[in-house]
Structure 1
Amino acid sequence: MTPPKPVPRPDKVSLWRYLKLFRIDILSAQPARLYRAWMAEFRTPFFRSYMCNEPALIRLVLDERPDDFPKSDRIGEGLRPLLGASVFMTNGEVWKRQRRIIDPAFEGGRIRETFPAMVAAGQAAVARMDAGVQDIEPEMSHAAADVIFRTLFSIPIEHEIAGEVFDQFRAYQREQPILNLAAFLPLPRWFPRFHSGRTKETAARIRGLIRQLTESRAKAIAAGTAPDDLATKIMTTADPVTGERFETEEMIDQVAIFFLAGHETSASALGWALYLLGMYPEVQDRVAAEAGALEGATDFAVMGKLKFARDVFREALRLYPPVPMMVRENSCPEEFRGRKVAAGGQVVLSPWHLHRHERLWPRGDEFDPDRWQTEEGRGCAREAFIPFSSGARVCPGAGFAMVEGPLLLAMLVRAFRFDLVAGKEPVPVAHLTVRAKDGIWLNVTPRE
C-alpha cells in the first residue's frame, strides 16, 4: 500500500491559475514532472524561480556557499507579523549573531537535560487520549505544544498563558497561508504587505503573551530563581564575538519561531507517522513491542532502545516533510546545469520533491522504515534527505526533534492502537506545514 500524495496538476497552466493553486495548496500546484527533474525554471513577470533537485546543486546552496544564497524574503512576508526579526527571518551578520547565542541551548547535553520534560509531556498526551474515531491532528498539536512549553519555560500547556498562546496560534494558522500577495510582487519595504487585520491582531496577541513570559523570566533570572531550562539558557548566553545578549524584543522573536518550528513541525510529523502506522499494522506492532523498553524509564539512555521508532519517524519525515519547500536567493550571477541564473533568482529547494524523487529513492512513494538500516538507504539519506535543511542554516532544534518525535510516537503506540477509518483518507496540503486537508482520522483503541 502506498501513502497518498497530492494529485499532480497538468504540466502546463497559466501563470494566474498557477498562483491561485499555489496559494490554495503549494503541493498540488506542482506538476508531476518535478518528481523526476534535476532542475526546473518558473517565470513570473517580476522574478524567476529555479527548483533544484540535483544533490550537487543542493550542496552548493546549503553547504558549500550559504552566504551567497541568503534566505529569500518572499516566503517570510507572510510570517513577518508573528516572527519579526527572528533567526528564521534574518540573514548575514544578524543571523550569525543570533545562531551563536541560540545554538548552545540545543547541544547534546542540553537535550538530555530536557528529556524528563519530554517524557512528562508524553505521559500527559497518553492520559488525554480518548478512545474512538477522531481527528488525530489536534491532539498531536496539543502534545507538541506541551513539549515546547515544558522544555522552554518549564510550564505545561495547561498553564494559563501557555494555553492562550496555543489557542491564538491555531487561529493564526487558519488565517495565514504560507504565501501572501507580497511574495509575488517587487514591493519596496515601505509598501503595505497585504496582511489581513485578523492576522495582524492575532500575531500581536501571541507576541503580547510571549512578552509576559519573557519579561517574567528576565525578572527570575535577575533574582536568581529562574529554572535551568531552554529559555534561561538562551537569555543568559552572550554572543562570544560581541558579548551581546538578546534584548526583550529580540527574545520575543526567537520564542515565536521556537514555538512555530518546534510545535507546528513536530505535530505535522507525528500526525503523519501515526497515519502511516495505521496503514501498516504490522509495522505498528513492531513499534509497540520495542516501546516496552519505556516501562518506568525517564532516563535519556532509553532512546538507544527506540531504534525502530526512530526509523519510522524518519520515514514519516521523508514522505511528509513538515516544511515542504525552502527558498533562497542567489546574490550574484550563477550557472546551474549550464543555465545562466541572474542575481536575484529564487532558488527553491523542495524536500517534498527531493524525498520522493524518482531518480534518487528506490520506491520513493512507498513507506519502508527498514530502508534506513540498509547501505542503499543510508546513501539516499546522505544525498537527498533534508527535513531540517542542511549546512549552516540547519534547524538548531533538529536533534531535539529527533528525540521528541520517536519518544512520543513510542509512548502513544505503546498505550494505544491506531487504525485507519474507511472513507477518511487524508489528503496532504501545505500552508505553514504539511497537514491533512480535512484532518487525519484514526480509530484509537487502548492496548491491553
Structure 2
Amino acid sequence: MVKPPKPPSRPPKVSLMQYAKLFKQDILSAQPARLYRAWMAEFRTPFFRSYLVNQPNLVKTVLKDRPDEFPKSERVSEGLKPLLGNSVFLTNGEVWKKQRRIIDPAFEGGRLRDTFPAMWSAAEAAVERLKSQTGRDIEIEEETSHAAADVIFRTLFSIPIEHELASQVFSEFRSYQRSQPILNIAALVPLPRWMPRFFSRKTKDTAASIRALISQLTKERMAAIEAGTAPDDLATKIMTTTDPETGERFTAEEMVDQVAIFFLAGHETSASALAWTLYLMALYPDWQEKLAEEAKALEGPDFSVMSRLKLSRDVFRESLRLYPPVPMMVRESKCPVEFRDRNVAKGSQIVLSPWHLHRHERLWDNPDGFDPTRWQSENGKQCMREAYMPFSAGPRVCTGAGFAMVEGPLILSMILRDFKIEAVKGREPVPVAHLTVRSKDGIWLRLTPRS
C-alpha cells in the first residue's frame, strides 16, 4: 500500500556549517534517520548542548511533571518577536501563568458550543468558495489558509474574512508567515541578551502593519464593551475576564499580543492540518467515501452533530500524527539534570519533536502508515496517552486544542460531503517545516462536485 509522503533524512554525519544550511532550508530533512528510533540524542555545538528526547517518561518529565524546571527556550522564537511581542506563546513563569488564567476560560467546553455557529458559517463559506474551483488543479493550502483565517475572525471578532480589516490582516499575515521560520539561527548560535536583534525591514514593517490592524480591532472592541454593545464572542470573553489571583485584565497592548498569537497559531496550524488531511483523503479514496457517507449527518449548526463525526475525527487525529503542524518544540533546562545516565547541564536545550515521536519505530505499529483505525487498538490507545502531542502536553498544552478538534473534522466533513478529491499526478507533496509543516511546492488537488 502507498505510504504518505515523508521527507528524506540527512547523512549521519555533517559539519555544523552543513547542518545550519540544511536547517535553514527545512528543519525535518536536516535531521538524521536514527531519530526515528532513538530514545535520546545529543547534538553538540561550540556554544551549547542540545538533547532530543523521545522516551515517553522523559517527555512526561519535561512537559507534565516538572514544567517549571524546563521553561520554553527564549532563543527559538527570535524571528516571531516583532509580531508576537509578549504573547502567551513566548512567555514563561508568572507572566505566562497569569496570561493562561485569563485566556483559558474562553476556550472551555461550553464556549465551544457557543462559537459553533460561527465555525459552521465559516465552513459553509469555504465550501462555496471551492465550488468555483472545481474541475481544475488547485493548491489546497491556499484554500485551507483562507478557511482557517475565516474561522478565527468569525469566532474571535464576529466578522467574516470579507470584512475590510479582516482581509487586510489575512493578507499581511500571509507575507509574514512565508518569511519567518518558527526556529531560526538564534537556536543554533545563542546571542547575548544585551546584543540588539536585527530583523529585515520587510519583517519589521509587516509585523508593525499587522499589529496596527489588530490594535484597531482591539480598540473598537474595547469601546463596544464600554458601551455595552459588544457581541458575546471570544474577544469579548477574553477582554472582560479578570485574573482570579490579581484581579487584572489585559491592557490594550497585551491584548494585541494575544490576538496576534491566536491568529498565527490558530490559523497557520489549522490550515496545515486540514490541507494534509485532504491530501490523505485523495491518497486513500476508500476513507474519503466513508467520511462522505458520514457527513450526510451534517444538517445544521447544532453542536451535537460533532458526536456523529467519529470517523472524521479519527482521520483528522491520524493526519495530526503524521503531519503535526508544529514539528518541534524547545525547552531549556534551568538546572542540571540526569537523563538516561547523561548529565544535562543547566542551560541545555531539550528538544521535543512531535514529528519523530509520532513516527517512532519502537513505539507505534506501522509508524509511517495511514491507519485511522489504530486509535481503537491497544497500541494506539497507549501511544495516544504516551507518545502523541500535536498540541503539546501538560500545563502548556495548546489552549485551542479542543477548538481545533472541532474545526478540523467539521470543515473536512463539509468538503467531502460536497466534493470528490483526487491528487494531481506528478505533484506529490514534499513535507517541509518552516513556520509549520507545509509542502515544499504546495499540495495540489482536483475537486469534483458530488451528484
| TM-score category (smaller protein) | over 0.9
In the TM superposition, what are the counterparts of 1:74-89 in structure 2 within 5 Å?
74-89=75-90
Cα distance in 2 for residues equivalent to 1:171 and 1:189: 28
Question: Of 251, 256, 273, which aligns to 2:255?
Answer: 251
Asked whether 1:305 is paired with 2:305, we answer: no
State the partner residue of 1:341.
Answer: 344
1:217-366 residue pairs with structure 2 within 5 A? Answer: 217-294=221-298, 296-366=299-369
Output the CA distance in 2 between the equivalents of 1:340 and 1:2. 39
Aligned partner of 1:195 among 194, 199, 203: 199
1:15-414 aligned at under 5 Å gives the runs 15-129=16-130, 130-131=133-134, 132-294=136-298, 296-414=299-417
SS in 1 for 2:79: coil
Post-superposition Cα deviations, 1:236-283, rounded to whole Å, max 9, x if no partner, equal 000000000000111000000000110000000000000000000000
| 1:83-107 deviation digits (Å, cap 9, x = unpaired) | 1000000000000000000000000
Deviation at 1:36, TM superposition (A): 0.3
1:10, 1:185 → 2: CA distance?
22
Query: Residue 12 of structure 2: SS of its match in structure 1?
Result: coil
Shift of 1:33: 0.3
Q: Distance in 2 between matches of 1:105 and 1:386?
A: 22
Q: Indicate conservation of the 8 Å contact 1:23/1:178, yes or no.
A: no
- Per-residue CA deviations over 1:313-362 (Å, capped at 9, x if unaligned) read 00000000000000000100000000000000000000000000000111
Shift of 1:47: 1.0
Shift of 1:25: 0.2
Question: Aligned-residue CA RMSD in angstroms?
Answer: 0.8
* Deviation string, structure 1 residues 15-60 (Cα, Å, up to 9, x no partner): 1100111111000001000000000000111111100000000000
CA distance in 1, matches of 2:181, 2:89: 17
How far, CA to CA, are the matches of 1:396 and 1:21 in structure 2? 32
Distance apart, 1:180 and its partner CA: 3.1
Residue 75 of structure 1 aligns to a residue whose secondary structure is coil
In the alignment, the residues of structure 2 paired with residue 385 and residue 222 of structure 1 have an alpha-carbon distance, to the nearest angstrom, of 43
TM-superposed CA distance for 1:375, in Å, is 2.5
How many residues are matched? Answer: 447
- Contact 2:24–2:185 under 8 Å retained in 1: no
**Aligned partners of 2:374, 2:187: CA distance in 1, in Å?**
38
Quick check: 1:50–1:347 contact (8 Å CA) kept in 2? Answer: yes
Distance 2:64 2:187 in 1: 25
Unpaired runs of at least 5, structure 2 = none
Q: CA deviation at 1:378?
A: 1.0
Write the distance in 2 (CA, Å) between the matches of 1:20 and 1:195.
Answer: 19
Inter-partner Cα distance in structure 1 for 2:293 and 2:30: 40
Question: What letter is aligned with 2:209?
Answer: R
Q: Does the aligned pair in 2 maintain the 1:136–1:271 contact within 8 Å?
A: yes
| Matched-pair contact (CA < 8 Å) for 1:175–1:198 | no
* Maintained 8 Å contact 1:101/1:239: yes
Give the superposition deviation at 1:376. 2.2
Unaligned runs of 5+ in 1: none
TM-score (norm 1): 0.99
State the AA in 1 paired with 2:405: M
User: Match of 2:286, as an amino acid?
Assistant: E
Aligned-pair identity in percent equals: 71
Alpha carbons 1:182, 1:193 under 8 Å: kept: no
